[in-house]
Chains A and B, each alone.
Chain A
C-alpha cells in the first residue's frame, strides 16, 4: 500500500492520546501493541511461512501448502489511511508481477493503490470487503485480508521485510 501519507498523521494521533476521547484512546491503544507479539515470536530460525512486509505497507503470509499466500495491508497503514469506505478487489485469475497494482482502497477522499508483494496469480479475493470495507480498519492483518495469491516464485518472499524489520522501517519513517 503505497499511500501511507500519514506516517505523521498517525504519530500525531498517538501523541495526542491524552486529548482524545475514551473510545478513541482505546482504539489507539489497541492498535499500538499490535506489532509487539509478532516481534516476540520472531526467533533466530526464520521460518518461510513467517509473515512478511513491504515498504509499501502490505503484508503476505504463506499458507501451509507452501504455494499460496494471503495479502493484506498492515495495521500501521490501516490506521494511517483512516476509515476505508470502498475496496477495489483484484479479479480472479489475474496474473500480477511483484510491485504491480492489484487493487485499491478509498478512505477520506484518498484512492490508494495496493501493490502486490510477490508475483503470481490471484486465486481468491475477500468478498467480505465489498459490503463491509471497514473490516480493513477493524482487522487489517486478520479478517480484513484482501486476496490470496498463488506465488510463481516463493523465493521472492526472501527479499521482503520480516516483522522486526518492518517495525524498524515504520519507526524510521516517523523520524524516531
Chain B
C-alpha cells in the first residue's frame, strides 16, 4: 500500500516547477486532452511544459467545427478494417472536440501528439513547430520543415542547392515551382490561448497504417448540403515520417530541454482522474453537449440535389433545430392510412423537428428506418425525408 501511494504521488504533475515534462501512458483521447487542459490552466505563469501522448484511433475536431461537415460519422461507428499497429484491428473510433482552434485530425497509435505550454508573451505560432523540425532533423528526417500554415511537411522535390541547416523553414528539397511534387504534411498545429498562457499542440504521423482510411473518414457525405459558420478544415495530402514513437519521443524531449532547461519526464496515467478538474474536463469532453451541441450555427439543405422529392431546409444552433422547412415539390393527394393508426404526414414534420436536437433527430430517423412497421405509417415522401436525414446525420454510437 505504501509503495502504491508513493507511485501515485510521483505520477502527479509537479505544477510548481519552472520546467516540466510529462508523458502519458494512457491511450484515452478524452483523458489526455483533459490532462493537457489542466496543465494549461493550473501551471504558473512563467513555466514551460512539454506533454507527450498517444491516442487510440480517434478523430479530433477543432473547437469551432461542425462534425457532420468534417467527418463521415457512419465510418466512425462501422470502421471494420481499421488497423492498430500494436493491438490488431479496431472496431470503433472516438469523435472528440478539442478546446483549441483549427481543423480536424486523425490520431492512432502510429501518431505521437506533442504539446508545449509557455507564457503567451514569449510565444509565436512557429516557435515549437521549429522545435519539432529540429528534433526530426536530428533523427535524420532532412526533408522536414515548417510551412506557411505553421504545419510540418516533408518536401518531395529533387535535391537542389544546400540550404542553411539552421533554417527550419527550408530544406535542400524545397521546390516552390508550380510543377513540383507537393510537400506532404506530417504534423498539424493548433493553439489555445488563455490568461497569459499559450498552448501549442501538434500531431506527428510516424507510422500510421491507416493513412488511406483517414481521408475516407474525413470526407462527409453531407458536405455539399451544409452551410456552416465556424471553421472548415483545409485538407492536405499526408504521409508517415517513418520513425518509431520511442525515437521521436526521445528527440522531442531533448530539444525541449535544450530550449527551456533539462528536466526529468514524469509518467502520468488514469490515476490523474482523481484530480477534480481533470475528472470534470474528462466528463465534459465526452458529453454530447460539448461534442455536438457546441457546433456553430449551420443549415442543412437539399436544394442543390436534382433528384429530391421534397424540399428540406433545417437550421441548427447549438445542436438544436431552430427552423425546419420541409415542403413538397408539388401538391400530392393525401394517402389513405392502412389502419386506424394516423399516417405520419409530411406537413407534420416541421413542427415535429423544430426544437429537436440533431442527435434526437438522427436517432429518430434511424429508428424509423429500422422498423418496417413504422414505414407502413409514413407517407412515401416522409420515408424519403427520413432516408435522406439518416444519410446526412447518421446515428452515432456512444452518444445515444
Contact = CB atoms under 8 A, between A and B. Distances in A.
B191 A5 contact: yes
B194 A3 contact: yes
A124 interface: no
The CB with the most chain A CB atoms within 10 A, among B101, B123, B193, is that of B193
Contacts of A111: 62-64, 99-101, 191-193
Interface string A69-110: 000000000000000011010000000000001001011111
A55 to B, nearest CB: 8
Nearest to A112: B193
A2 B195 contact: yes
Nearest to B297: A130
A94 B251 CA distance: 46
Given A5-B125, A85-B231, A173-B121, A106 B101 contact: yes
B193 A2 contact: yes
Given A88-B64, A110-B100, A111-B99, A6 B191 contact: no
A130 B296 CA distance: 9
Contacts of B195: 2, 56, 113, 115
Contacts of A110: 100-102, 125, 190-193
A6 B124 contact: yes
B124 A86 contact: no
B111 interface: no
A2 B120 CA distance: 8
A131 interface: yes
State the majority secondary structure of interface residues on A.
mixed
A48 B368 CA distance: 62
A4 B101 contact: no
Nearest to B151: A109
A111 B124 CA distance: 14
Nearest to B149: A109
Interface string B358-397: 0000000000000000000000000000000000000000
B32 interface: no
A28 interface: no
A9 B125 contact: yes
Contacts of B99: 111
Contacts of A85: 64, 230-231
A153 B166 CA distance: 54
A3 B196 CA distance: 6
Contact of A108 (B121, B125, B192): B125
Interface residues of B, number: 31
Nearest to B318: A91
A7 interface: yes
B121 A7 contact: yes
A8 interface: yes
Contacts of A1: 193
A4 B231 contact: no
Interface string B101-117: 11100000000000000
Interface string A1-31: 1111111110000000000000000000000
A104 B194 CA distance: 10
Contacts of B133: none
B156 to A, nearest CB: 24
Contact of B64 (A7, A86, A115): A86
B134 interface: no
Contacts of B120: 2-5
Contact of B197 (A2, A88, A104): A2
Contacts of B198: 3, 5
Given A2-B197, A56-B196, A112-B192, 16 more contacts: A3-B120, A3-B198, A5-B120, A5-B193, A8-B121, A9-B125, A55-B196, A88-B64, A101-B194, A106-B62, A108-B150, A109-B125, A109-B189, A109-B190, A109-B191, A111-B100
13 contacts: A2-B120, A2-B196, A4-B120, A5-B121, A5-B198, A86-B230, A106-B101, A106-B231, A109-B125, A109-B189, A110-B100, A130-B229, A130-B297
Interface of A: 1-9, 55-56, 85-86, 88, 101, 104, 106-113, 115, 130-131, 173
Interface of B: 62-64, 99-103, 120-125, 149-150, 189-198, 229-231, 296-297
**Which 6 residue pairs of A and B lie closest in terms of their CB atoms, listed nearest first?**
A3-B193, A109-B102, A5-B123, A110-B191, A111-B101, A112-B193
